[in-house]
Chain A
Amino acid sequence: MAEIFLAHSYLVLLLPLTSFVVIGLWLGRSNPSAAAWLAVALAAVNLAVALTVALASFGHVFEPLATGGASALVALNVEWLNFTPSLTARLGIYLDPISVVMMVVVTTIALLVTFYSMGYMKGDEGYGRFFALLSLFVFSMLGLILSSNIFQMFVFWELVGVSSYSLIGFWYQKPSAVAASKKAFIVTRFADAFFLLGIIMASYYAGSFDFTVLNDPATAKVLAQQTLPWGPGLPVLTVATLLIFVGGWGKSAMFPLHVWLPDAMEGPTPVSSIIHSATMVVAGVFLTARMFPLFAAADLTMEVVRVVGAFTALFAAVIAITQFDIKRILAFSTLSQLGYMMFSLGAAKISGGDGGINSLAYSASIFHIFTHAFFKCLLFLGAGVVIHAVHNNDLAHMGGLRKQLPKTYWSMLIACLAISGVYPFAGFWSKDAILLGAWQSGHYLTFGVGLLVGGLTALYMFRFFFLIFHGESRQETHAPLHEDPVMTLPIMILAVPSALAGIMAEHFFVTHVIPPLSSVPSAGILPHADWLPVAASFAGLAGLLLAWFLYGRGSRALVAVSQERMGFLYTLVSNKFYIDEAYLFITRRLIFDGVAAPIKWFDRRVVDGAMDAVGWLLQRGGNGVRLAQNGLLTLYLGMSILGIVLLFLFGNLPF
């Protein structure tokens, strides 16, 4: 029975593709509401298929930690592009613990968000188009997750980028949305260029695109022995893994390539919810986890992964405290949580010693992807309800919505408690596992940053929460607000996993979702830290109480108070450390003026000038010759006779 489900796992890709094609080509235009229902129905079927595949694979194929570790299954493997006999790109479906977990997350979120969109997008001009693009995204995302080789993954990686681009720019009449979509595409594409280089380098030396080969310890050894034929003889393993990681760096919006994610909030809220918080942005983390055995063999790469992740977690959390656009707060919060996942993967490499692998840190990262998807999706969908009700994104125009939006209030309270890591909500367990993993691996500074960010997370999330729902209303109008049941139902459904996913799934993740242990040396018995959950909870509660003290009670003049107390520092942080301005300076002033303008001058004046000179000469010459062509037949005849005579007289000359 299980084999049948696994053999038909390609249906998970086929259903959203069908939905995209049918809605995109035909139904979206002719009957948008039927298109929406079709998208929801296919998403529901898809979730059912994904769940059966997950049950079949975890029940019959994957082995838990106790019996030797995880295994993987290639459910489909078709030859696609035969570059050379030794290097063939295949199309396949690769089922292993992380891809199956991600598949379940994506299909679940996809169903809820599609359903929610029926309410949120109601009356929009591009109603049908929205569902087509959403289905395209789900198809691409599932393709990315289930790819059996890195080449196929790159194709879907770009498809995900394209659907993200078109959904950020969904309201293409808005110039800011167009600018944001271009920014997102260009920044991620910039990173993807390095990713492609890394793919080429790794697969050239490994002789294959397949993950099964790339993740083989023998491949890591081969790559570690080779050095690049140019430059100072860098080892291929480090360079290739770093280049591949840059792809994930851009997609997961790690500092300093994070600039596109806050701007991506220009898209419709359901899009932000599914693409820019729950699924697509974790693709970078997923890539790192997917290539983990290869990455783990390169010490420097693991170091980079950890440092970049930890820095982004802290950096984004600090910015989130000062923002007023509710979607941007959530975007920075997403950045911060992505930093958590990333540094956790980096921290799986045990500091010092024999370079063993701490499988807990790896599991914790995937676990956090899992829990974060639910509560962050909930937060975005809840923010969508609030925006829908208030018609504003700005915290300064909210406040006191608790009575008017009760369902949203309670659901978002659960999500805020979950993301802040309060016992026993989902985030507590995954964050605790991440911190424990970092501690056990001996990365104490990273652990400290994680603990601090835990406190900051509680602070900015409850600032967000209190300013929306508590205090006095700061709305301009006092019309009664209402909650659309189509929009509140998915939120209330998501509140369940946000509350319970941690406590129920922790054991499962720690024992089943583990790195392919056969390929990496496992660590010995690691120290336990019983005090750690207490410390993490304390950090979270401290942040929560600070938020209550600052924002919970009333509606004081918001900006003024904080600005007066913090002065310059506040301005710096609320302007996001001027990273966007720095980018503009680098691109406009340095690259455009310093590099592009001289090149343009050279092109216009020297290259074009040389061509123009040749043309000018020919034209002038032509004008001279034209005088002879005066149409006088007599002259033509005379010239031919003269020519014949000259030929007769001088015809024997060597020219």
Chain B
Amino acid sequence: MTLANSLLLSSILFCIGIYGVLTRRQLIGILLSIEIILNGANINFIAFAHFRAADPTAGAIFPIFVMAISAAEMALALAIIIAMHRQKNSKLDIQQLRRLNG
């Protein structure tokens, strides 16, 4: 396990996440992909903290923050998604949800 491997893993996860965000049609799928992006970033933090920093705990605190905040964010996002689902004719399909058009 080296720094380079860890960074490679984190960037692979990040790219998978981006790909997922851009290609999924289901809102839930997009949410999952966002989680993957965040995890890629978390691995980046931990890798640098482990291999480079004098005090690894400082780097470990950040992912905990990120996880806490993303959990809250997910709860909010899921609530919105459920609300949207309850609306008539809403299939949670990103292609159909176009009310933001100009």
Spell out A's residues near B (CB within 8 Å): 625-626, 628-634, 636-638, 641
The count of A-to-B residue pairs whose CB atoms sit within 8 angstroms is 32
* Surface stretch bound by A, among B38-46, B48-56, B68-76, B91-99: B91-99
| Bound-complex Cα distance A634 to B97 (A) | 11
Interface pair B22/A630, CB less than 8 Å apart: no
Closest 8 interchain pairs by CB?
A629-B102, A631-B101, A631-B98, A631-B100, A626-B102, A630-B101, A633-B94, A638-B22
Closest to A633 in B: B94
| Bound-complex Cα distance A637 to B20 (A) | 11
| Bound-complex Cα distance A636 to B21 (A) | 11
Name 5 extra pairs, CB < 8 A, besides A629-B101, A632-B95, A634-B94.
A625-B102, A629-B100, A633-B30, A633-B100, A641-B18
Determine the main DSSP class of B at the interface with A: loop
Interface pair A631/B99, CB less than 8 Å apart: yes
| Bound-complex Cα distance A336 to B98 (A) | 83
Say whether, besides A637-B21, A637-B22, A641-B18, A632 and B94 are in contact (CB < 8 Å). yes
| Bound-complex Cα distance A465 to B38 (A) | 110
Q: List 25 A-B contacts (CB under 8 A).
A: A628-B102, A629-B100, A629-B102, A630-B98, A630-B101, A631-B97, A631-B98, A631-B99, A631-B100, A631-B101, A631-B102, A632-B95, A632-B101, A633-B30, A633-B94, A633-B97, A634-B21, A634-B23, A634-B94, A636-B100, A637-B21, A637-B22, A638-B22, A641-B18, A641-B22
| Bound-complex Cα distance A631 to B102 (A) | 7
Determine the main DSSP class of A at the interface with B: helix
| Bound-complex Cα distance A637 to B33 (A) | 13
| Bound-complex Cα distance A626 to B98 (A) | 14
| Bound-complex Cα distance A632 to B95 (A) | 6
Could you say which residues of chain A place their CB within 8 Å of the CB of B101? 629-632
Could you say which residues of chain B place their CB within 8 Å of the CB of A633? 30, 94, 97, 100
Q: Give 1 or 0 for each of B4-26: 1 = CB within 8 Å of chain A CB.
A: 00000000000000100111000
| Least Cβ–Cβ distance between A647 and chain B, in angstroms | 16
| Bound-complex Cα distance A579 to B77 (A) | 84
| Bound-complex Cα distance A637 to B100 (A) | 13
| Least Cβ–Cβ distance between A189 and chain B, in angstroms | 52
Could you say which residues of chain A place their CB within 8 Å of the CB of B99? 631
| Least Cβ–Cβ distance between B31 and chain A, in angstroms | 12
Could you say which residues of chain B place their CB within 8 Å of the CB of A630? 98, 101
**Residue of A628, A631, A641 with most chain B CB atoms under a 10 A cut-off:** A631
Could you say which residues of chain A place their CB within 8 Å of the CB of B30? 633
| Least Cβ–Cβ distance between B33 and chain A, in angstroms | 10
Could you say which residues of chain A place their CB within 8 Å of the CB of B102? 625-626, 628-629, 631
Could you say which residues of chain B place their CB within 8 Å of the CB of A637? 21-22
Closest to A622 in B: B102
Could you say which residues of chain A place their CB within 8 Å of the CB of B21? 634, 637
| Bound-complex Cα distance A641 to B22 (A) | 10
Could you say which residues of chain A place their CB within 8 Å of the CB of B95? 632
| Bound-complex Cα distance A634 to B102 (A) | 15
Interface pair A634/B98, CB less than 8 Å apart: no
Could you say which residues of chain A place their CB within 8 Å of the CB of B100? 629, 631, 633, 636
Closest to B102 in A: A629
| Bound-complex Cα distance A631 to B30 (A) | 16
Could you say which residues of chain A place their CB within 8 Å of the CB of B97? 631, 633
Closest to B94 in A: A633
| Bound-complex Cα distance A637 to B18 (A) | 9
| Bound-complex Cα distance A630 to B95 (A) | 10
Could you say which residues of chain B place their CB within 8 Å of the CB of A631? 97-102
Could you say which residues of chain A place their CB within 8 Å of the CB of B22? 634, 637-638, 641
| Least Cβ–Cβ distance between A129 and chain B, in angstroms | 57
Could you say which residues of chain B place their CB within 8 Å of the CB of A638? 22
| Bound-complex Cα distance A626 to B99 (A) | 14
| Least Cβ–Cβ distance between B14 and chain A, in angstroms | 11
Interface pair A632/B18, CB less than 8 Å apart: no
**Residue of A634, A636, A638 with most chain B CB atoms under a 10 A cut-off:** A634
Could you say which residues of chain B place their CB within 8 Å of the CB of A636? 100
Could you say which residues of chain B place their CB within 8 Å of the CB of A628? 102
Could you say which residues of chain B place their CB within 8 Å of the CB of A626? 102
B59-89 contacts to A (CB < 8 Å): none
| Bound-complex Cα distance A631 to B95 (A) | 9
Which of A625, A632, A641 is within 8 Å of B98, CB to CB?
Answer: A632
| Least Cβ–Cβ distance between A62 and chain B, in angstroms | 83
Could you say which residues of chain B place their CB within 8 Å of the CB of A629? 100-102
| Least Cβ–Cβ distance between B94 and chain A, in angstroms | 5
| Least Cβ–Cβ distance between B16 and chain A, in angstroms | 14
| Least Cβ–Cβ distance between B41 and chain A, in angstroms | 14
| Bound-complex Cα distance A637 to B101 (A) | 14
| Least Cβ–Cβ distance between A415 and chain B, in angstroms | 82
**Residue of A632, A633, A636 with most chain B CB atoms under a 10 A cut-off:** A633
